[in-house]
A and B are shown apart, each in its own frame.
Chain A
């Protein structure tokens, strides 16, 4: 097949028919742009929800007076629950170890703590994050669950700062006394109550303000802590966003196909004499069709290439401006190869579907 000949024919026809061609190219551009940006948003939501999902654990702090048998019994009870996917036990010693790891570089803080005030805990990962509240409340009544432990909402703190992070998912919880002691220690070390190292911790309902500093907020969780509601909302939002986005992209894709098909129809019409002559001199059907198919594919590809450039630009500015302002967003860009495949491949696909549609309807051979 003389590809160069076909390509020249296609480009000539594209240029001759430029108004329609540009309309079709722009439609492809818009639909592929939205597809690309949608993918970018989706990937980031995915990472965000994955991160949140990882935190979607119930931590059950165990009263320090509980006997090993009682602890085992609770463990078996939890393990038997059908909603539970994973269960880890963090002993007091484990918790201390993790704590030490966390505080590396400022061990002096731990010197302020006598003995091991950290409670043992069960970390429960559920199969479906949606069930978190139900499971948590069913466990709440157990006698060995420590209802006096106070915790902080880890989601709202940032581990990269020099805060004293009491992170969920790592089994480090303090009773209020210890917590306040460590807090004071930080204050002492930093020497500046308004300084960076002052832990700013906010809670949801039931928030109590710690007595010693206005900026430190601790909230009571009654021995059980879940990351429920917000996460649930994020999950649902992701679902809707995905559905809505896909629908929108599909709609635009259909519009692109129809416009390309119409462009090709016009170019078939403009070249009907040529087609007639081609038939007379013995051109095969595929020989007649190729230039039109290539024309459609080129239209799709031009639109897609424009879209690709725009998406890369959006990613660039998003990462540059938004993420540097709000580092916790930690935006991930779509891998370039993926993006190229998705957008350019999508554009070419739309183009070839559009032109085959036109050929089938208007070039019966």
Chain B
């Protein structure tokens, strides 16, 4: 088991969390996980082991049946509904299916998460090209998502997740739809984001990637944490 760094600042705390879907499907069972600020962390496991459930609990898409979840010092069970949007703004998310808006340009897709936070149009105009440059899509600003390759679309989605500079970035199988080379590109992007001090939590099936990165690995099986080690392997 992984030693605890109790001196660090915790970004994510799962304390004996269980989630049971209706009617009686186990999502997570008695999961306790702590993730410190600035960590890069893989969440691995077979299909159906509960990785997405973990991430959706983190986003407070639904409540756990038992246990408590704290994100950035805020207890999600005690959080009021009206505070939920502000909680979400603090977390950038990337998904396997990109979740881009097909009828908005790349720039507008990225600008979206800035608009939502009520940022001024001027700062939006400044930040969007900046971040698109960073993910290597400076020349695709006015293209629509379906004019981009899958890897490029995922870059847009990473840009959107990071443009707010959230303290936590979660990615649910961001490379699941991509070929190995493109996956490496996305992986490097996430790594660079992590280097800026952002905590990154990434659920993945990608054995090769996990083994190459040698970062912390939390392995789930059947809703339970079966392994949690620093510089771990997929196994």
Interface residues of A (CB under 8 A from B): 1-2, 5, 12, 273-274, 276-285, 287
In B70-107, which residues have CB < 8 Å from any A CB? 82, 85-90, 93, 99, 101, 103
Whether A280 pairs with B99 at a CB distance below 8 angstroms is yes
Instruction: Name A278's closest neighbour in chain B (CB-CB).
Output: B116
Q: How far is B116's CA from A278's CA once the two chains are assembled, in angstroms? A: 7
Instruction: Name A365's closest neighbour in chain B (CB-CB).
Output: B81
Most interface-central of A278, A280, A281 (chain B CB within 10 A): A281
Question: Of B103, B121, B160, which contacts A281 at CB under 8 A?
Answer: B160
Whether A281 pairs with B118 at a CB distance below 8 angstroms is no
Whether B101 pairs with A287 at a CB distance below 8 angstroms is no
In which size bucket is the chain B interface?
20 to 34
Whether B85 pairs with A283 at a CB distance below 8 angstroms is yes
Whether A273 pairs with B101 at a CB distance below 8 angstroms is yes
The 5 A-B pairs of least Cβ separation, nearest first, read A282-B89, A282-B88, A281-B113, A283-B116, A282-B85
Q: How far is B86's CA from A355's CA once the two chains are assembled, in angstroms? A: 26
Cβ–Cβ < 8 Å partners of A276 in chain B: 99
Cβ–Cβ < 8 Å partners of B169 in chain A: none
Whether B85 pairs with A280 at a CB distance below 8 angstroms is no
Other A-B contacts than A2-B121, A280-B93, A283-B116, 11 sampled, CB-CB below 8 A, are A276-B99, A277-B101, A277-B112, A278-B116, A281-B88, A282-B113, A283-B85, A284-B85, A285-B85, A287-B85, A287-B116
Cβ–Cβ < 8 Å partners of A274 in chain B: 101
Q: How far is B154's CA from A358's CA once the two chains are assembled, in angstroms? A: 34
Whether B121 pairs with A282 at a CB distance below 8 angstroms is no
Q: How far is B93's CA from A1's CA once the two chains are assembled, in angstroms? A: 24
Whether A279 pairs with B88 at a CB distance below 8 angstroms is yes
Question: Of A277, A282, A284, which contacts B99 at CB under 8 A?
Answer: A277
Q: Does B117 contact A (CB under 8 A)?
A: yes
Cβ–Cβ < 8 Å partners of A287 in chain B: 85, 116
Q: How far is B98's CA from A300's CA once the two chains are assembled, in angstroms? A: 36
In B35-90, which residues have CB < 8 Å from any A CB? 59, 82, 85-90
Instruction: Name A12's closest neighbour in chain B (CB-CB).
Output: B103
Q: Does B115 contact A (CB under 8 A)?
A: yes
Instruction: Name A1's closest neighbour in chain B (CB-CB).
Output: B118
Cβ–Cβ < 8 Å partners of B99 in chain A: 273, 276-277, 280
Instruction: Name B121's closest neighbour in chain A (CB-CB).
Output: A2
Q: How far is B118's CA from A12's CA once the two chains are assembled, in angstroms? A: 21
Number of A-B contacts (CB under 8 A): 45
Cβ–Cβ < 8 Å partners of A282 in chain B: 85-90, 113, 116-117
In B108-159, which residues have CB < 8 Å from any A CB? 112-113, 115-118, 121
Interface residues of B (CB under 8 A from A): 59, 82, 85-90, 93, 99, 101, 103, 112-113, 115-118, 121, 160
Q: How far is B113's CA from A61's CA once the two chains are assembled, in angstroms? A: 86
Q: How far is B116's CA from A280's CA once the two chains are assembled, in angstroms? A: 10
Q: How far is B56's CA from A247's CA once the two chains are assembled, in angstroms? A: 51
Whether B115 pairs with A2 at a CB distance below 8 angstroms is yes
Cβ–Cβ < 8 Å partners of A279 in chain B: 85, 88
Q: How distant is B120 from chain A, measured CB to nearest CB, in Å? A: 9
Given A274-B101, A280-B99, A5-B115 contact (CB < 8 Å): yes
17 examples of A-B residue contacts, CB within 8 angstroms: A2-B115, A2-B121, A273-B101, A276-B99, A277-B99, A278-B112, A279-B88, A280-B59, A281-B89, A281-B116, A282-B85, A282-B87, A282-B117, A284-B82, A285-B85, A287-B85, A287-B116
Q: How far is B118's CA from A274's CA once the two chains are assembled, in angstroms? A: 17
Most interface-central of A5, A273, A282, A285 (chain B CB within 10 A): A282
Most interface-central of A1, A12, A277 (chain B CB within 10 A): A277
Q: How far is B86's CA from A274's CA once the two chains are assembled, in angstroms? A: 18
Q: How distant is A161 from chain B, measured CB to nearest CB, in Å? A: 68
Instruction: Name A2's closest neighbour in chain B (CB-CB).
Output: B115
Cβ–Cβ < 8 Å partners of A284 in chain B: 82, 85, 116
Q: How far is B93's CA from A325's CA once the two chains are assembled, in angstroms? A: 74
Q: How far is B89's CA from A357's CA once the two chains are assembled, in angstroms? A: 28
Q: How distant is B50 from chain A, measured CB to nearest CB, in Å? A: 20
Instruction: Name B90's closest neighbour in chain A (CB-CB).
Output: A282
Q: How far is B116's CA from A2's CA once the two chains are assembled, in angstroms? A: 9
Q: How distant is A274 from chain B, measured CB to nearest CB, in Å? A: 6
Q: How far is B1's CA from A80's CA once the two chains are assembled, in angstroms? A: 107
Instruction: Name A279's closest neighbour in chain B (CB-CB).
Output: B88
Cβ–Cβ < 8 Å partners of B89 in chain A: 281-282
Most interface-central of A273, A280, A283 (chain B CB within 10 A): A280
Cβ–Cβ < 8 Å partners of B59 in chain A: 280
Q: How distant is A159 from chain B, measured CB to nearest CB, in Å? A: 66
Cβ–Cβ < 8 Å partners of B113 in chain A: 281-282
Most interface-central of B103, B116, B118 (chain A CB within 10 A): B116
Q: How far is B116's CA from A260's CA once the two chains are assembled, in angstroms? A: 26
Q: How far is B90's CA from A276's CA once the two chains are assembled, in angstroms? A: 17
Cβ–Cβ < 8 Å partners of A5 in chain B: 115
Q: How far is B93's CA from A282's CA once the two chains are assembled, in angstroms? A: 11
Cβ–Cβ < 8 Å partners of A277 in chain B: 99, 101, 112
Q: How far is B89's CA from A283's CA once the two chains are assembled, in angstroms? A: 8
